[in-house]
Structure formats: C-alpha cells, structure tokens
Structure 1
C-alpha cells in the first residue's frame, strides 16, 4: 500500500527474547484484604497488537524510563465501538487512553479527529511511504500479507496461487485464518480478498464455510498450525513465513496473484490525554532504531525506518505485487466486512441450534 500522505543504549537480544514470556504490567485500584496497592499508571496504552509484539516493547519502555504503563488490550471491533459510542475515547469504566498502539493506519486515518498531532524527532528516519503529513499518527511496522502452506501436505500441483485458493473445497477445514474481529491484520486480509474477488457468490460466506465456521485466536496459532500440519495453508505475515522457511521449516509461501497489501500499523496520541509527555516518549520509543531492529530480528516484521533493513531474503517493498487502496476506503470496507462476517457466523449458529 502506497501512502500519499532515539533511544540510547542497546537492547540485548537475550533480554528481548525473554520479554516475550513476560506478563503485561498494569496498574489497578486499591483492594481490601491486605492486597498491595500498585502505583498509579504514568501512561495508558490501548493496543490491538499481538501479545508477543506489545509486551516486549512496553516492558522495555518501562525499564528504560521507570514509568508505569497500563495496557488495555482489545480488538479492532472494540476500539471502533468505543469510539462510536462515546464523545471521546473513554471506556465504559471511565478510563482514558493516552495512546493507541499497533492499530492499522487506515483506521487511524479514518478516526483522525481523536488524535493530536505530534512530530517525533524520529520522523526523518521513517520511509516517506509510511509517513503522515500532519503527524496525526506515526507508523510502527509494515506487514505484507502472504499465503503460507505446509510443503509436506500441499503438493506441487496444489500450491495456492490466490485469495480464491482459500475457497477450494479440497481445503475445507484445513485453512488457518484468525478471527478478523480480533485482528487488524486479518480484517485487512479479508478486505483485500473481497476487494479482488471476481468469482461467483459471496466470498465471506464461502470462506466461513470452508473454515467450517471456526477461526483461530492468534497469529502464532495460525503459524504453528500450518507448521505442524494441522492446517494445510493459511494467511500470515511475510516476515513470519520467511523466518520459518529460512529456519528450515517445511513451509513455503506466495504473494496472492491478485495482489497483496503492506499493512502498516502505527501509534497515535489521544486528544486531551492525561499523560501527554509520557505518550510522546512512548511514541518516540516505538520508532527508535533499537526497537525497530528488534522488530525485524526477533519479531519478524518489516521496519518503517530507512536505516533498518528487512530480514535476509525479503524483496524490497517496491517489488511486491501491492494493491493500492485509499486508506479511508479500506477502513470503511473493513468496518462493513466485519459486520458481514459477524452476520454470517450468527446465522450459522442460529441454524445449527434449530
């Protein structure tokens, strides 16, 4: 997708890897019964990021700054619902977010009235294609989508070629796909598939049927399911597929022939937030060279910085078969597709209960 519109010190690899297993740190209200009282949060972050991506970034930020970060993890649907039902980004419990993190930039662009402009000192190092002209949001990572398959299960003649390949009857119950309501990545994947579909019938209905109306709850489940043969093929991000393949796993991947999309996600600071200085420090940290290097080497994402190269073996973004789609159009499409997806699942449950 083409858009028109520094931290000091080193992050040891051992530390970064160990952080994947850490538990999110959050503040909580005082409780009775002798429970210890945690300090009040210095920053509240709402994220739709995978746990394995968010935790290392937040934990390292806390350790470097001494700030206490409260993380509100949720889905894209929950984020959109929250914004629609309130005059500002306030949760039902009256809690306020300072930052939204790891949200697709098409969503950030569509909901730009909720964010304040901030020009990070790291902006000059970010590739022009991933910049926001008025600094309402700042990109964090870039994720081209691919279809990965298990080479022990899928024969040469069966190799998937396109988004339509996910609908082939031979793969019924064998396609790994995360619930698009829980993932910005998969709601975008479904939007791309629907956008390019030229076959008969409704793509969403066909896919739900081929998934046997079941989907997975994390990207790691998708990757591990294909790797161990529980699933024959599925949609994942390019970096994860490349890391598995280069590590000797029995997998390979393709870019759908209709075209794929590079999904930048990003960070935005909420208008009127309680901790603006902490929010700016966190945003700067997410695009620092230290974090962006780890993003590539340990977390299998493409960096948005020009001075951090991708994993070995990956083609430059400008050589990929990219579908260019207006950000606001993509955001509207995703909202509509999520409604259709939930409608298809609800209808199936009602019929199954009859």
Structure 2
C-alpha cells in the first residue's frame, strides 16, 4: 500500500468481561495536521482504498480509523451522546437500525449539500443520516459441494433442499448470531417483516441444526473450507472481496435485502467540518466508483449482478427501523431465534 496514504497497524484488543466497548483494530491514513476520528464497522482491508483516496484529495487531513463490532459501536456512540465518552468525528455502521436510533435520540448533527441532496429517500433521513453503500444479503455456498448440482436461487428452493436432504446439511448451514451481530439482527428483523417464508425457514434451520455464529469473514471462511455448505443472509460485499473460487454467491430471486451502511456526524464531534468533507467525498462519483469496484456498491447495470429488477428490497433509513429496537419486538425475535438455533459454535 502507498506509504504516504496509509500506515496500517492492526491492534487486536482483548475484550474482558464487563470491559467498556473497544475497537477491534485501528489504522492511520494520511499525515495532515487535522486528525479526524472515524469509527466504523467496515473492515479496514476493505475500506482502505476509498479512505486512501480521500486523504490524497485532502492533504490537510488525516484519518484515525477504528474498526468496531456493530453492537459495541452502538454502545460507544450512545455513551458519547450522553457525555460519558469522547465522540468520534464520524460514525459509519452497517447496523442501520442502531444509527436511526442515535439520530432519533438527538445524537447527530445535520449537513446539507448537493451530494446529500442527490441521494434517494431510502438513503437519507432528516439530513442527519446518510446511506453510503448498497450491499445485498446473499446466499453463499461451497462450490465444490454443489458441483454439477442445482443451487437454491430463492428461499423456497432452500427450504426444499433442507426438507429433501436434512442429513446432508445437518450442522452445515450458517448465518449470523443475532445476539452478537447488529447486522445479523437487522437482516433477521427485515426478513420477519418481508418474508412469508420466515417461520418455515426457522423451523427448517432447527430441523437441520443450523449454526448461528459471528461474523461475516468467519462464516465465509467456513464455507470456503467446507465446514459449512451454505450460509444464509451473508453480506454479499464480503464475499465479493474474498474473490475465492471455493465460494459461490446467489442473490435470492424472491427478494434480496439491500443494506446501505449509514454515516452520521455525532453532535459533539471535535472536527465536524472534516467529517462533512469525508461525507461529501464518499458520495462523490469518484468515491462511488471505488466503492463499486471494491464490492460495497451494486453495479448500475443489473445484468452484472444477476439481480432481478423485482428482487431488491432496500432497507430504508427511516423511523420504521426503530421498531427493530423495541423491547417487545426484540424479545419476540430472540425467542424465535433461540428456539431455532443451537448455541453458536463452529462444527
């Protein structure tokens, strides 16, 4: 990587029981005098090209990038909003429901520009939350295991496969642990609202001993190695970045959830102008092309993705996402999930 643009230092941090939320890794970009803090759920190795380009375009700025798990980042952001922790200058998270909660709790500040104004309504809320990416929730499979066989192209076919050969798939279907992953919880919540198949899917997962575990990279690695044969609702951008022939990806034809990682400027940010400049850059044509190249943005040409025109279901940045954090809704979904899944563990 270019030395002037990136000094990457991965610092794995042990999370002790009861410890305050902490980042998983950190990286430093650029050498500008004004150093902004960006806290994000996006893996450093994936997002690096676009942040590198930003600091090249803005040599007076540098970026201290902190990689977090979504739930820990939410806890940290709430503490910062309450004045119990120092806030970041920008927060960038895949857990859109948590970001909507923060904005609704008056934890953010506004920004209006030509770039933010050009966003569709599903990717902008109250001029305080903006969707930067478009990433599908995919079905992922081990290509060797399905060589010469049909793979399930929608949820109905996946259900048929689990019913027809439960022994083949026993303990070898994976998805996110919704207790550990804010993104996994969001996808499960969206499925529960969208899919007539939701109840049947949970029953089938229970029947084949499906595994709920964390996280995207771990699940995809398990599929590549053959420990899992299928993974459900995995963020497709992580599969695209892995570029492994051992892993195939399907965007479900019945419907495909599409997530926008959302960006917020905390109310107490020390460098809000730097955060605004980064936001406008991320929404620029140049940055969006980079995001498309690294798999964080769906290609404009649907033929490149194989996604049917009727299939995309955008998870809109809007007040209905607050229902996902309602206590009753959470207890109900967790109850259904616990009935369906054994404790998270790798086979």
Query: SS state of the match for residue 118, structure 1?
Result: coil
TM-score (norm 2): 0.70
Query: SS state of the match for residue 111, structure 1?
Result: helix
| Structure 2 unaligned regions, length at least 5 | 11-25
Displacement of 1:274 after TM fit?
1.3
Counterpart in the other structure of 1:222: 219
| Structure 1 unaligned regions, length at least 5 | 1-13, 28-37, 350-354
Q: Are the counterparts in 1 of residues 122 and 317 from structure 2 also a CA contact under 8 Å?
A: no
Q: Provide closer, same or farther for how the CA distance between residues 75 and 275 of structure 1 changes in structure 2, counting only shifts above 3 A.
A: same
Counterpart in the other structure of 1:73: 67
Displacement of 1:322 after TM fit?
2.6
Q: Which has the larger share of strand?
A: 2
1:292 equivalenced with 2:288 (yes/no): yes
Among 151, 173, 177, the residue aligned to 2:175:
177
Counterpart in the other structure of 1:283: 279
- Counterpart Cα distance in 2 of 1:332 and 1:209: 30
TM-score (norm 1): 0.68
Counterpart in the other structure of 2:88: 97
- Counterpart Cα distance in 2 of 1:87 and 1:268: 13
Counterpart in the other structure of 2:21: none
Q: Provide closer, same or farther for how the CA distance between residues 52 and 277 of structure 1 changes in structure 2, counting only shifts above 3 A.
A: same
Counterpart in the other structure of 2:250: 253
Among 87, 98, 101, the residue aligned to 1:110:
101
Q: Are the counterparts in 1 of residues 97 and 324 from structure 2 also a CA contact under 8 Å?
A: no
Displacement of 1:48 after TM fit?
1.8
Among 191, 196, 199, the residue aligned to 2:189:
191
Runs of 4+ in 1 over 6 A off after TM superposition: 18-22, 38-41, 242-245, 323-326
Q: Are the counterparts in 1 of residues 143 and 246 from structure 2 also a CA contact under 8 Å?
A: no
CA RMSD of aligned residues (A): 4.3
Q: Provide closer, same or farther for how the CA distance between residues 300 and 338 of structure 1 changes in structure 2, counting only shifts above 3 A.
A: farther
Alignment of 1:16-95 (within 5 A): 23=10, 24-25=26-27, 42-63=35-56, 64-84=58-78, 86=79, 88=81, 90=83, 94-95=85-86
Displacement of 1:332 after TM fit?
2.9
1:140 equivalenced with 2:132 (yes/no): yes
Displacement of 1:109 after TM fit?
2.8
Deviations 1:72-122 (A, max 9, x none): 3322222333455x471555xx32221111344443333212111101332
Among 143, 149, 169, the residue aligned to 2:141:
149
Q: Are the counterparts in 1 of residues 34 and 62 from structure 2 also a CA contact under 8 Å?
A: yes
Counterpart in the other structure of 2:210: 211
Q: Are the counterparts in 1 of residues 42 and 93 from structure 2 also a CA contact under 8 Å?
A: yes
Among 319, 335, 338, the residue aligned to 1:328:
319
- Counterpart Cα distance in 1 of 2:206 and 2:278: 39
Counterpart in the other structure of 2:15: none
- Counterpart Cα distance in 2 of 1:78 and 1:243: 24
